[in-house]
Amino acid sequence: MGEAIGQLLPFAVGVAVSPMPIVAVVLMLVTPQARSNGPAFLLGWIAGVGVGGAILLAIAGPANANDNGAPADWTYWLKLLLGLALLLLAARQWRGRPHEGDEVATPKWMGALDNFTPVKAGIAGVALSVANPKNLLLILGGAAALAQFGLSGGDETVCWIVFTVIASIGVGAPVVIYFAMGERAAAILDELKTWMARNNAAVMAVLCLIIGVKLVGDAITGLS
């Protein structure tokens, strides 16, 4: 099980540092509904990652991801496709990154966060966790990496809980800062939001490149 968790870590970290969800939760924490919307967003995020991964693992189980103790060939082909997709995404993100002097615009829907209810905040958490193509690729990659070990249902569950916890650190940290630091949190969260919004494309480009190269390398090794 330890080896399986080790394989999951890069994917979980990739999801955890996805900048746009962090910016979204920080913006919610400066609204009048911060005390309810921040935790609601975090719970929605956790549910999205946890349930999304569970569904993918349930699909991978009957598909025989593990063949007599060794990963099935189709898992390597899936890794190759995911790796290539992440490399293409990395190139796209890098080309689209803002340059010095460029104004960084946030998505229009973020302007509506002031009027969000806890229910809408929770739905936003789910959407940004699994409906975001970048995160979905990473969650799919994590589920595929875990499925190939052929672990028991209990061990798989523990591994995916670890994945979900690590993947939720990015959006969970601002919520903890907000409740733990009170009025002092505002300045810290504002700096975090500004940095994340500014460096969103560059951060995701580097992450997608590193994980994409790893997946392609694993696939080539497994298929050769």
Quick: pLDDT tens for 73-117. 777 888 889 889 989 988 988 887 776 666 666 666 666 777 889
Question: From CA 210, how far away is CA 195, in angstroms rounded?
Answer: 21
**Is the predicted pLDDT of residue 168 greater than 90, yes or no?**
yes
Q: Could you tell me the pTM of the whole model? A: 0.82
Poorest-pLDDT segment among 56-65, 86-95, 119-128, 210-219 = 56-65
Give the residue numbers spanning the domain of 65. 2-223
**3-state secondary structure (DSSP) of residue 31:** coil
Q: Which of 153, 195, 147 is nearest to 11 (CA)?
A: 147
**3-state secondary structure (DSSP) of residue 111:** helix
Residues 6+ apart with CB under 8 A from 145: 4, 7, 8, 11, 79
List residues bridging with 52 in a β-sheet: none
Domain count, the chain: 1
165-92-145 Cα angle (round to 5)? 35
- Of residues 17 and 66, which shows the higher confidence score? 17
Looking at residue 4, its pLDDT comes to: 83
